[in-house]
Amino acid sequence: MILINYLILFVISTSCAKTCNAVFVPHECIKNRAIAANYTPRGHVLYIGNLPVYEFEDENNQRTNRLLLGVYDIYGFAYQNLKQVIDEMAVQSGGFKVILPDFFRGESTNPEFNATERQQWLQRVGDWDSIVRPDLLSILEYYKTKGVMEFGIFGFCWGGKVATLTATHLSEEFKAAGIVHPSAVTNEEAVGVNIPMYLMPTRNDLDMMPFYEVLQAKFGSNCGHRRFDDMIHGFAGARGNFSDPLVQQRVNEVISTLGAFFDRNLNNSTNFAPNILHIFLVTITSFWVLG
């Protein structure tokens, strides 16, 4: 009887090994995806309470228990660029469910604002303690009930600040964080970070090497830094010029680099479903054989 069970287990394990390996798409195969100037998002918006959340998951995704949370810049949902980045993240690197929450609830910054006005507006619609942190907790709760077990976060400009705060204050819930042309992030903040991060400043941004050195001391080679010296702040965000071929190429590089980084770090749930399957089948066959 035990022998039969082991035999069945062996057959399941071998067939699973094949399926599981097929999930890992080699990064070389996906590098040349093109970011387009005119883009229609492929995902849909759902609501968690009164929080709109853009969500996209490729129909062939087999890693449904891991999720990447993208955080936009101060333009909110008003432009399609970031939804395109979200969609691309979802189909690359072996698969993720990827979301973009609308923390500002339909608002977008006014380009005419002066610095004070912008700050006041941001405080009203995107305060960490009263809005963003509670929203992140609701999102975690919602997706955990949907079976998600591993979470990563990445953000652009203002979203880079949010991802850094998350890496510091919600690090027990998120496994890794990526920041692209971050705003208002200081090198001193590296000290409080508790999870691996990938840093992507541009030529207009802070020199983040000191931040990176602190990360390296904490996480060794499982963190990253790339300074985009030929790109301006915001290139991958809402108002980036996705008609420019060089910008398209650099955005693709952001996606493939971050995708590989998250694929490495959100790596613990791969075999979870097959394990459940093993237990289930062993139980069933035991009853069947004994019965």
Whether the CB-CB separation of 29 and 88 falls below 8 Å is answered with no
Q: How many Cβ atoms from other residues are within 10 Å of residue 163's Cβ?
A: 28
State the nearest-atom distance from the C-beta of 87 to ligand NAG, in Å.
21
We find the least distance from the C-beta atom of residue 200 to ligand NAG, in angstroms, to be 19
Cβ of residue 265: shortest distance to ligand NAG, in angstroms? 6
Strand pairing partners for 150? 66
Identify the helix (H) or strand (E) that includes residue 150.
strand 150-157
Burial class (CB within 10 angstroms; exposed 0-12, middle 13-18, buried 19+) of 233? buried
Residues that bind ligand NAG (CB under 6 A): 114-117, 222, 241, 243-244, 264-265, 267-268, 272
Q: Which is nearer to ligand NAG, 15 or 267 (CB)?
A: 267
Taking the C-alpha atoms of residue 154 and residue 68, their distance in angstroms, rounded to an integer, is 7
- Rounded distance between C-alpha atoms, residue 244 and residue 166, angstroms: 32
Residue 157 beta carbon to ligand NAG: minimum distance, rounded to whole angstroms = 18
How does DSSP classify residue 86? H
The amino acid at 224: G
List, in order, residues 6 or more apart from 191 with CB less than 8 Å away: 214
- Give the nearer residue to ligand NAG in terms of CB position, either 123 or 241: 241
Quote the least distance from Cβ 131 to ligand NAG, whole Å.
22
Min dist. Cβ of residue 77 to ligand NAG (A): 21
**Largest pairwise CA distance in the chain:** 77
Q: Nearer Cβ to ligand NAG, position 31 or 264?
A: 264
Nearer to ligand NAG, 252 or 265 (CB): 265
Smallest separation (angstroms) from ligand NAG to the CB of 118: 9
Which CB, 130 or 268, lies closer to ligand NAG? 268
| Nearest of 210, 211, 164, 196 to residue 183 by alpha carbon | 164
Tokens describing residue 17: 């090994």
Rank residues 146 and 264 by Cβ distance to ligand NAG and give the closer one: 264
Nearer to ligand NAG, 53 or 236 (CB): 236
| CA angle 94–97–103, rounded 5-degree value | 140
